[in-house]
Every structure is written in structure tokens, then in C-alpha cells.
Chains A and B, each alone.
Chain A
Amino acid sequence: MTMLRGPYWTLFARCLHVASLSETTVDPKEVITRFLFQGSHFAVTTGRVNPTALMPYDNKNSKRRETSIIRTDGLQDREVWELGYQIHEVAVTPRPIKARAVGVAAIVIDQQLQFDINGNPYPRHADIIGWPVGDEKHARLALATEIANRMTLEVDTRPQKQ
């Protein structure tokens, strides 16, 4: 990610440090996060994550469906948020984070889905892959429902910008 090779790289080197994480497998006990940008993707009052927030993106380049997540083991809570701010709000997309879905990797692995540890577009990044292909959207929705059902919601406590 070329945009991270400026001052952000130094500033967030610690957050991005991945020496403690396996480069080949995601341990079922590892904590993963998906940042949420759309208010309808979660319910603050119930602390629940909407399944559509976990639905995979149809990546035309890789020709597969994938859901982007961040591996956050070894980071303090504040560092996870900072990582998200810099990656999503400054470096890549000027889109304010509203919340994040948090869970352990086992939630994904239990659905027979896999992680692609690609470190792209930034270290600690991985994609959830292995989603059902074709027109069977309901099958993907069922898996996303299982994952969302077991994730917890953490809402960004910063004053919301308009």
C-alpha cells in the first residue's frame, strides 16, 4: 500500500507489526475485527451486528468472493481503533468508521470458511474466503448470519462527523 509508506508507516509501525502472528494460518483463538461504516449494519441498542456487514465482496481481480478483516491479536483496544482510522479514514478511503465487529477466528473457521493471509493492502489484513459461488446468495447469507450472530459490536465513541 503505497499510501501507507509516508509518515503513517512510521507512526503505525507498531500497530501493523505482525511478528507475533502466523504467516500461514489464523489460529482459531485469534481475535479479528471488521470495521463498519454504514449505520444500518449494526444496532447500537442491542449491540448486534447485521449479517450483511459480513457478506463477501465480489473481487473481480481475484475472481473470488472475500470479506476483509484485520487480525488484531497483540494490539490494545485503542491501537485497533487507531489502526482503523489510519487505514480506512486517512490512507485509503475518507470514510468515517462507525463501529467494528469483533470475534474470534473460530467463528469463521466453524463455517468451513478459510482465511487468506495476504497482508494486502496492509499487514494484519486477511480475507475470509471459500464462500459459496454462483447465484446461491442465501447460502452466503446463511454463513454471514452465523458469523454475525457470534460477533460482538464495539461502537466508535468519537463524536460523529457529518
Chain B
Amino acid sequence: MTVLTPSVRRVQTAAAGASALVVARLLLEVAVHERSRATDWRPVVRAAIQQVASDCSSPNWDGYGAKPVSLRSKENAQRLVDLLPVDLPEPQAVADPDGHIALWWDFGRDRVLTISVDESEVASYAGIFGRDVRRHGQEPFRDDVARALLDSIREVSSRG
């Protein structure tokens, strides 16, 4: 088995022998090309956050007593989006009943991650990364995004 580990993503083939390296390099080229084609989804998500914040600006927007989304949470969520690398998969913006904004990556059952951003530049996250892998915690963010968050986003989107 030949494995190349480029900066973009792990490339792996089941090929063996002399042809394995060629196949792996071709896959690597595909991966690099994929990255170069990636469109910048961040303005779209920023706009979605704006829309969600507007939709959920009144108390009880969820019918269960939710707090209105705060301006600070909205701005922090948008800033977090700006700090995310564009090669990551696009999240969905979601309103949190405590007045925060969350980013949601969902790839089906047992592959889901939510990062919720509050007013104080703290991101709470929880995810399921396959049947037996769960992780949750909180990370501060200001000028960059914690490695734990980035790794979690990559992991939830890569597990098949």
C-alpha cells in the first residue's frame, strides 16, 4: 500500500508495486486540484449568520423560551467563519436557544459536529466522529482558531 501525506489531505491507494507511486501521485494531483477549485464559502455563511440572527432576534423565537441572538454572538460567529480555512467544508449557520450562533457540519448519522460561539470569544463544541468516537469541549478564539476545532472539522468530514 502506498500512502502520500500531503498538506492538503491524506491520499491512500490499495495499489502495490511500481504502479502504486504513480497512482498515489495522480490522486495527490486530484486532491490539490480539488483544493484549488474550492470556492470561498465564507461570505455565504457570513450572510447566513446575519439572516439567522435577524430571524431569531426576538425572545422565544423557537417557541420554547429561547433568548434573542445577541449582536456580539453574531459578530463573533462571523469572525470565526473568517478565520476558518476555505478548504474546510461549508457549515450551516444555526441559532442556539441561549442566544448564541452555532456552526453545524452534518454528514449523516454518527458524523456531526456543532461549534457554538458565545459573546465572550469562547467556542463550545461537540461532535460524533464515527460510531465510537465522541468529543466535546470549549476553546477560546481571538486571532486564530484552536487546533482542536480545526482537527474536529477535518475529522468529521473525512470519516466515511
Q: Using CB atoms and an 8 Å cutoff, list the residues of chain A in contact with chain B.
A: 35, 37-41, 43, 46, 48, 50-53, 55-59, 67-68, 88, 93, 95, 137-139, 141-142, 144-146, 148-150
Minimum Cβ distance to chain B for residue A151 (Å):
10
CB-CB under 8 A for A40 and B114, given A95-B63, A138-B124: no
CA distance A55 to B96 in the complex (A): 8
Give the interface residue-count category, chain B: 35 or more
CA distance A150 to B62 in the complex (A): 21
Question: Residue of B at shortest CB range from A60?
Answer: B65
Query: Does B106 contact A37, Cβ atoms closer than 8 Å?
Result: no
Question: Residue of B at shortest CB range from A144?
Answer: B126
Supplied contacts A38-B62, A41-B62, 14 more A-B pairs, CB within 8 Å? A37-B61, A38-B55, A38-B61, A41-B94, A52-B97, A57-B97, A88-B63, A137-B116, A141-B114, A141-B116, A145-B127, A145-B136, A146-B128, A149-B112
Q: Which residues of B have CB within 8 Å of A43?
A: 92, 106
B66 at the interface (CB under 8 A from A): yes
B104 at the interface (CB under 8 A from A): yes
Query: Does A138 contact B97, Cβ atoms closer than 8 Å?
Result: no
CA distance A40 to B106 in the complex (A): 13
Q: Which of A68, A88, A145, A149 has the most CB of B within 10 A?
A: A145
